[in-house]
């Protein structure tokens, strides 16, 4: 079991109950043997199989299959619907949602995967977004920060000691990604038009958004600790409520 300063990842109970005020966060590995990958592939829809086929590298294709197959298996536990019977609708910017026809009217979810790990979030009656990133030092440079972060975030990042900047960079990146994924508007919402906290040890928060002074108060952010080498964040519409952390049974 992987642990963090703030939460533990537990095996889920046999019968999952998701209250209206709760948020469930799941983690799952993306390294499986061929027979297990095939079993998950068999759960996918035709369009998901087409998407999988477009990946050039087998590793990336397999990780997509695992992430999507486990998403179906996970959601089926909440809905009592067979994984291969679930149907998804997509926003104009590609955010998936359960179709009304499979009982997903109140259930909201989001997923993210990076390197060898996938994270999922599930809640009821409110939008959610999640992002996980494997920390790569070659991506966390000043040029990328200036391109995608707000001026306030760049100033905060560069004021930190050099040894803290890698963590701060990915704190910022994952919090911004989680927020725009929860909003479901993709990169039509420019990353430099809102500010998040990023200093190590500082609570995750949306500080402000340009053009709408009330927007920040409508969302809650949380830092997630998936394991060594990863950064992750969660965005939830409204107050955060209770978060439960589950790990996928291997």
Other residues' Cβ atoms within 10 Å of the Cβ of residue 96? 15
Name the percent of the chain lying above pLDDT 70: 97
Pairing of strands 88-90, 194-196: unpaired
Please report where in the chains the tokens 């952010």 appear, as a residue: 221
Is the pLDDT assigned to residue 2 strictly greater than 80?
A: no
User: Is 137 a residue whose pLDDT tops 70?
Assistant: yes
| Per-chain mean pLDDT for the chain | 93
Q: What is the pLDDT of residues 154-210, one digit of tens each?
A: 999 999 999 999 999 999 999 999 999 999 987 778 899 999 999 999 999 999 999
Instruction: Supply 153's token pair.
Output: 């975030």
Tens digits of residue pLDDT in 64-73: 999 999 999 9
pLDDT in tens, 18-30: 998 999 999 999 9
> What value does the mean pLDDT take over residues 50-70?
97
pLDDT value at residue 5? 52
Q: Which of 89-93, 145-149, 169-173, 222-226 has the lowest mean pLDDT?
A: 89-93
Angle at alpha carbon of residue 106, lines to 105 and 110, rounded to 5°: 95
What is the rounded CA–CA span in Å between residue 24 and residue 246? 7
- Please give the Cα distance from 29 to 243 (Å, whole number): 20
């Amino acid at each position: 079991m992987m642990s963090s300063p703030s939460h533990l990842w537990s095996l889920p109970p046999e019968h999952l109950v998701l209250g209206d005020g709760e948020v469930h966060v799941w983690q799952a590995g993306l390294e499986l043997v061929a027979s297990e990958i095939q079993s998950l592939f068999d759960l996918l829809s035709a369009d998901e199989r087409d998407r999988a086929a477009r990946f050039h590298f087998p590793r990336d294709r397999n990780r997509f299959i695992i992430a999507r197959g486990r998403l179906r298996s996970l959601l089926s536990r909440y809905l009592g619907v067979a994984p291969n019977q679930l149907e998804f609708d997509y926003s104009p910017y590609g955010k998936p949602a359960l179709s009304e026809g499979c009982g997903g009217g109140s259930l909201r979810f989001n997923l993210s995967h990076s390197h060898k790990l996938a994270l999922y979030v599930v809640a009821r009656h409110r939008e959610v977004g999640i992002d996980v990133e494997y920390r790569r030092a070659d991506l966390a440079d000043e040029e990328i920060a200036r391109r995608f972060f707000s001026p306030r975030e760049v100033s905060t990042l560069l004021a930190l000691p050099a040894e803290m900047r890698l963590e701060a960079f990915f704190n910022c990146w994952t919090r911004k990604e989680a927020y725009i994924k929860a909003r479901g508007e993709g990169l039509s919402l420019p990353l430099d038009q809102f500010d998040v906290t990023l200093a190590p040890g500082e609570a995750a928060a949306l500080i402000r958004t340009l053009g709408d002074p009330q927007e920040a108060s409508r969302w809650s952010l949380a830092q997630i600790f998936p394991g060594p080498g990863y950064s992750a964040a969660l965005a939830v519409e409204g107050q955060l409520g209770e978060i439960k952390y589950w790990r996928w049974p291997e």
